[in-house]
Structure 1
């Protein structure tokens, strides 16, 4: 029986780029599979609504070429989930078409390619909705309406590991599997089970971490290797300037999740209360044990449905005011712009105007033209600059942005058979020419950019600068100077999650006992109702507090100011906490 399984993930999102030297070094040392995710709802609803991909075809081809060369020279199987970003059938086909082109162009050996579709018929969803069997995915998601189904451009379902496992069992000689929309860890868990590593506690937890590559490292990087055993798994970044620590790996459980201790997915939930994280002597690798996968009861299997629709059109303009006389009276001036637009546009519209850093505003082209003219030539009290107010940096001045997109389905649907919605097709791609494949040349690693060794050394020795002024009052500190990490992020399209981490247990327990971060104060800080806080969990393994709230505007919908959700942490930086006496 095989005792270890090595899985390489070159990047947490296919198309984002990875280091070729680190990739080939790992492949040549020996790996059992290359597994990579390609999907997310982080960037909003446009891909689902419009049928676009998150990356360019050329960008995907450049990275898939390296994967196929590894399959050719080293017979390493490749698994890709959520092709194209949304996992639509058409994007699965695009990836398979790219593979055909690469095999022919490089004269590679014949490749067996398996594809798994994930689109769901509206008829199926309508039937289940009428039967009352579809429920919202979380309390922040509204009930599904018949109009949501009708308006959806396409509907995809997140497949679990069962469809990948079925594909591998039916086609054990596969070279590449291209999956439609997938639960991110599903191909990882499925490959483990296929290779005889049937401990789902280990397989699912490894997949939950590895699907983001080496984002769990410090400093965060891209390429990661997992070494899976029957009772544990190791996580290691390939970049020599990064390392995994017990806290950095534990903290990744918080990333873009509603809560850190319970991760729900198709087929069951992963409980992490008893998980341990052991730093190994190489000072770069962490060994993980103790997660518990609890399967759903028989008949309780659900898949998550995702869909988006288009809803009108939008356009924008941008520029800046510099006149201090105008800036001092910006709010009443903006009202004159609104009044001007209303006098010109005698039809229904939404106008969203931003004074930078406060509100985001978008409009259809005629409306924003009127708004821009109002900004450019509107008068104000004490005006001395009469030629124009508004600095416009580029043309065109009024920029059509196309259709407005919004999520309309993010719901759970029960299924009797976890594989029934996901048809599997296999084909062998080959060429008819007599050309030879290219010789394999493994480039030398050269650190560069933010992941360079010099940066890592500097980061480790750097005294944290004072980032907030004026200084906190005597006896107090700003949370932004006390915590080691304060971040915000989407937890799906309908939730926003905040992670506040500390660099010692002493600081963690001090902050926890201080009371400055209780739910009522958090709600007051962000001007939300306490009932809009979905979860608030102090998580000792990562020395962190996680707070998840309902998003005031669904990710990417008209009027959104932060689709990714990553810039909402700033309100926490100036929270005052009593100064802690250092030991």
Structure 2
């Protein structure tokens, strides 16, 4: 159970890191009953690629969004708690904000709740404005690997949204102090948290943004990572802790979250300024709670406000097929055999197309970054065909899949067929192919006027009567993680005598998107002396990363050690823009393996 509310503090509750993914009703109502000021959730991300932004699809079903919204609207009715949900539906487009407001009206009227004041804030940006800013030289790439924006990119985008900062939220709240619920379009993830704290008189924007950065993912920085989190904001610090039984937050787990999906951990850029964390302090209060202080927000100069634009386009249609290869005779000549199939397909087609054969088990996950291409016993093949029409993409996939099934190879004994496929029809049309085309910074903008809002006074009969407990009977707590997973996995083959692997000594070693055009690598340690030992060894360098990932030094955005989290970070330009044609790892969460096997000159602990 969460502690009861005291005076001169602000209690922010996040039940899930992505709204619509469901959360514990028991924890939700226990937390709300104990007293919270606001329920704030983030609803969007570019992590899943460009498809939803280009095609106007929500990141979870509308039924799932409605289910979660029913719970928070009920809490709003019963406890007068404020609710803010940003980047509604995933990409935060205007139409999604409108249907969220319609959902609220339906929920209130269906259940007999009290009248409510709901606010929708919009984030789609006029293409004419973007073109004018481009002509004025006020738009540039957002990070390494992003190409310069062209007018055609703007025209090709289905829609363009901008990440709003705190200002639109503060304006909406200040002008409507009786508000109940705010639904926003695309927003910088920490913005609603920082805005609400500012609106309630907590003026330290460094703390406000730092709290928002942690909370927008729910309790992901807990050990083990979980869903529900509570932050208690005070004047010179905030406390954060998970609400799931068995989960805890530590100084390292909280500090390390500032590395998560960011180019660098010490300076986090957002609309209107930068969050500086070099002087941040993290204190372990008890087994599960961490206190944070010392973060500093430095605003951009007057008149130089910036926002990030996001846009995606439809570029043809695509079809896939999936299956496996197991014959060792075939696998011994896989490269030349696939090349023969590709040339056969080329001879058959009389229209433009693109074909990508992913070989999971060889270099399917990491592609060109893979340092180890030794052949395993089995290889999963995912073929992806792209063309101007769905019919053409289907044909390319069909001919290619037929080649995989029946193409001959030297020394062949298994003449019945080569390809094991799990489903029929084998060729799976995926419809329009989406690609990012706008991921840029627009300068000198009006942080309020760019994001209009509307107020909806939701009529309600206020006839609702609660019958029975809010969350039903309490269930026995779940075992969050099997004990055997807590032991260190023995990487094999063993390292040379007298050495260990980096994966043997790191407490966290991961990879992740840092936006669609960058990939970031984090290595963290739980022991200060060990961290300093690794830091001073001179092994983790820019040159080492380039060699491990088969890239040039110019493709490395940054390599650095960050003492607050006892961490090493490297960020590189993605060889494949997230979610585009030929993608192998949209989330970029399986690019860390080469770092696991970096040899360190110390004995391995068995």
Q: TM-score range by the shorter chain?
A: over 0.9
Residue aligned with 2:384, SS: coil
Of 362, 367, 386, the match for 2:384: 362
- 1:435 Cα shift? 6.5
Query: Does the CA contact (< 8 Å) of 2:114 and 2:463 recur in 1?
Result: no
1:338 corresponding residue in structure 2:
342
Pair 1:56 & 2:56 matched: no
Query: Does the CA contact (< 8 Å) of 2:500 and 2:601 recur in 1?
Result: yes
1:325 corresponding residue in structure 2:
329
Pair 1:311 & 2:315 matched: yes
Of 125, 129, 133, the match for 1:124: 129
Cα shift readout 1:428-468 (whole Å, capped 9, x = no counterpart): 1224696656665234543565xx26x37666xx43131x2
Residue aligned with 2:70, SS: helix
Query: Does the CA contact (< 8 Å) of 1:106 and 1:436 recur in 2?
Result: no
1:472 corresponding residue in structure 2:
495
Map residues 180-219 of structure 1 onto 2, 5 A cutoff: 180-219=185-224
Map residues 233-272 of structure 1 onto 2, 5 A cutoff: 233-272=238-277
Of 523, 536, 553, the match for 2:559: 536
- CA distance in 2: counterparts of 1:580 and 1:115, whole angstroms: 59
CA 1:526–1:237 in 2, change beyond 3 Å: closer, same or farther? same
1:41 corresponding residue in structure 2:
46
- CA distance in 2: counterparts of 1:200 and 1:312, whole angstroms: 44
- 1:581 Cα shift? 8.8
Residue aligned with 1:163, SS: helix
Map residues 174-185 of structure 1 onto 2, 5 A cutoff: 174-185=179-190
Of 294, 297, 304, the match for 1:300: 304
2:586 corresponding residue in structure 1:
563
1:74 corresponding residue in structure 2:
79
- CA distance in 2: counterparts of 1:318 and 1:527, whole angstroms: 27
Cα shift readout 1:105-148 (whole Å, capped 9, x = no counterpart): 21111111000011011111111111111111123211110111
Query: Does the CA contact (< 8 Å) of 1:254 and 1:499 recur in 2?
Result: yes
- 1:417 Cα shift? 2.4
- CA distance in 2: counterparts of 1:396 and 1:581, whole angstroms: 50
- CA distance in 2: counterparts of 1:320 and 1:139, whole angstroms: 36
Of 396, 399, 416, the match for 2:425: 396
Query: Does the CA contact (< 8 Å) of 1:134 and 1:411 recur in 2?
Result: yes
- CA distance in 2: counterparts of 1:231 and 1:157, whole angstroms: 31
- CA distance in 2: counterparts of 1:112 and 1:85, whole angstroms: 23
Question: If the length of structure 1 is used for normalisation, what is the TM-score?
Answer: 0.95
1:463 corresponding residue in structure 2:
487
**Mind listing any 5+ residue stretches in structure 1 that lack a counterpart?**
none
- CA distance in 2: counterparts of 1:488 and 1:265, whole angstroms: 22
- CA distance in 2: counterparts of 1:551 and 1:63, whole angstroms: 35
Question: If the length of structure 2 is used for normalisation, what is the TM-score?
Answer: 0.92
- CA distance in 2: counterparts of 1:336 and 1:140, whole angstroms: 33
2:376 corresponding residue in structure 1:
none
- CA distance in 2: counterparts of 1:579 and 1:204, whole angstroms: 40
- 1:337 Cα shift? 1.3
1:380 corresponding residue in structure 2:
409
- CA distance in 2: counterparts of 1:179 and 1:371, whole angstroms: 45
1:548 corresponding residue in structure 2:
571
Cα shift readout 1:343-388 (whole Å, capped 9, x = no counterpart): 2112221111122231364102111111110011111122222222
Cα shift readout 1:271-330 (whole Å, capped 9, x = no counterpart): 1011111111x3111110011111111111111111000111111101112222222222
- CA distance in 2: counterparts of 1:456 and 1:67, whole angstroms: 32
Of 5, 9, 12, the match for 1:4: 9
2:371 corresponding residue in structure 1:
none
- CA distance in 1: counterparts of 2:462 and 2:39, whole angstroms: 28
**Mind listing any 5+ residue stretches in structure 2 that lack a counterpart?**
1-5, 365-381, 386-392
CA 1:415–1:289 in 2, change beyond 3 Å: closer, same or farther? same
- CA distance in 1: counterparts of 2:530 and 2:339, whole angstroms: 47
RMSD: 1.8
- CA distance in 2: counterparts of 1:40 and 1:30, whole angstroms: 29
- CA distance in 2: counterparts of 1:308 and 1:152, whole angstroms: 5
Residue aligned with 1:109, SS: coil
Pair 1:515 & 2:520 matched: no
Query: Does the CA contact (< 8 Å) of 2:144 and 2:517 recur in 1?
Result: no
Residue aligned with 1:352, SS: strand
1:417 corresponding residue in structure 2:
446
Query: Does the CA contact (< 8 Å) of 1:39 and 1:84 recur in 2?
Result: yes
Pair 1:482 & 2:505 matched: yes
Query: Does the CA contact (< 8 Å) of 2:509 and 2:521 recur in 1?
Result: yes
CA 1:580–1:538 in 2, change beyond 3 Å: closer, same or farther? farther
Of 135, 153, 157, the match for 2:158: 153
Deviates more, 1:322-331 or 1:214-223: 322-331
Residue aligned with 1:190, SS: helix
